[in-house]
Structure 1
Amino acid sequence: MQLEDFHALGEADAQALVRRCADVPSWAAAVVAARPYPSVAALRAHADDAARRWTASDVEQALADHPRIGERHRTPGATAALSAREQAGVDPADARVAARLADGNARYEQRFGRVFLVRAAGRSSAEILALLERRLTHDDATEAAVTAQQLREIAALRLADLVDDPVEAPAPRPAPEPVA
């Protein structure tokens, strides 16, 4: 969707769209309330700035809408499709990877009491597993900060996919010079 289309949405529809990026109602409301934006870059900058003010409660609420790494979303819908695309680097048919992810997810949830969240887009299974193992060594405060950062990265990528710059028509090419 182009920025002008985002500006034209009603408040409820715009907030629903932004909440597909991260289910933090106060953040979505702040992003929508600041419309119109002079550019997509300004929209993204404002969204990032607002996301840096997320509370632990905001992050926990947003995590509820994310499946475990290596699993599919519990319910169909827009965020399920986004999540599936983001986890495309994780092969669910690879039994070894699936077993290691299931084990790591269980240890993470036991250790931190929440789902392991990582920006999976662009990362391989091996990278995700290495990050999971490394993050299991974090103290609670460090891991909470890393989780919030990963959620911000996911939200930023999703927002970039949803609202983009208008596509400018290419400049017309001059007619070729006649051959003499």
Structure 2
Amino acid sequence: MSTGRVPGDSFLWRFNDADPAGALDDLSVCCSSRRWAGEMVVGRPYRDVNQLVERSDRVFRALGWADLREALDAHPRIGDRATGESREAGWSRDEQAAASGAGDELNQANVDYEDRFGHVFLICATGLSADTILAEVLRRVRNDVAVEREEVRVELCKIAALRLRKLAGA
């Protein structure tokens, strides 16, 4: 698939021209939803990172809960350190740096949240303090299921956008 070049953006050059399997592999670090990744690949070519992120936002709005859950299940509990040497694990550790020292109160809030919703609490933690993260889990544990699923969608979308920008070097 020769899709055109994006001046000054070597990631987008490679991504736009990659075979579908290679393009899917590039995206795996950003989001683990196969439907999201597939929709992102068929949306090529992208002229710049902003168009890439805009497409991601549109795709996220259309994902069903099963697709969101697939992405959600790949995330570690907030405050836990992702293991491994992969780029995704490193980004996760960096994104959750403030939460790693939050202690017992966050651990208990995570347990309460998981008991209520059946999955880990997810938040785009980049730039947030441990206190802010704790306040958010305590607020969101009171959500009803439908409201919380939409909050999860928004947070997954933010994380994917952040990681797409990192991948593109923007």
TM-score (norm 2): 0.88
Mean CA deviation greater in 120-129 or 14-23: 14-23
Q: Superposed, which structure 2 residues align to 1:14-93 within 5 Å?
A: 14-92=23-101
Residue in structure 2 matching 1:155, options 144, 156, 160: 160
Deviation at 1:77, TM superposition (A): 2.0
Note the aligned Cα RMSD (angstroms).
1.5
Residue in structure 2 matching 1:120, options 118, 121, 125: 125
Deviation at 1:128, TM superposition (A): 0.2
Higher helix share: 2
How big is each residue's C-alpha offset from its partner over 1:110-143, in whole Å with a ceiling of 9 and x where there is no partner? 0111100011011010100000110011111111
* Unaligned segments of structure 2, at least 5 residues: 1-9
Residue 107 of structure 1 aligns with an amino acid whose one-letter code is D
Deviation at 1:5, TM superposition (A): 2.4
Residue in structure 2 matching 1:8, options 10, 17, 34: 17
1:173 is aligned to: none
Determine the C-alpha separation between the residues in 2 that align with 1:164 and 1:3: 10
Structure 2 contact 80–100 (Cα < 8 Å) conserved = no
Determine the C-alpha separation between the residues in 1 that align with 2:169 and 2:76: 26
Determine the C-alpha separation between the residues in 2 that align with 1:54 and 1:20: 18
Deviation at 1:8, TM superposition (A): 3.0
TM-score (norm 1): 0.83
Q: Aligned to 1:89, what secondary structure does the other structure show?
A: helix
Structure 2 contact 81–100 (Cα < 8 Å) conserved = no
Residue in structure 2 matching 1:146, options 151, 154, 165: 151
Of structures 1 and 2, the larger Rg is shown by 1
The alignment-based identity, stated in percent, is 36
Residue 21 of structure 2 aligns with an amino acid whose one-letter code is A
Change (3 A) 1:63 1:76: farther
Deviation at 1:67, TM superposition (A): 0.4
Determine the C-alpha separation between the residues in 1 that align with 2:128 and 2:18: 33
* Unaligned segments of structure 1, at least 5 residues: 166-180
Deviation at 1:76, TM superposition (A): 4.3
Residue in structure 1 matching 2:112, options 107, 112, 135: 107
Mean CA deviation greater in 6-15 or 130-139: 6-15
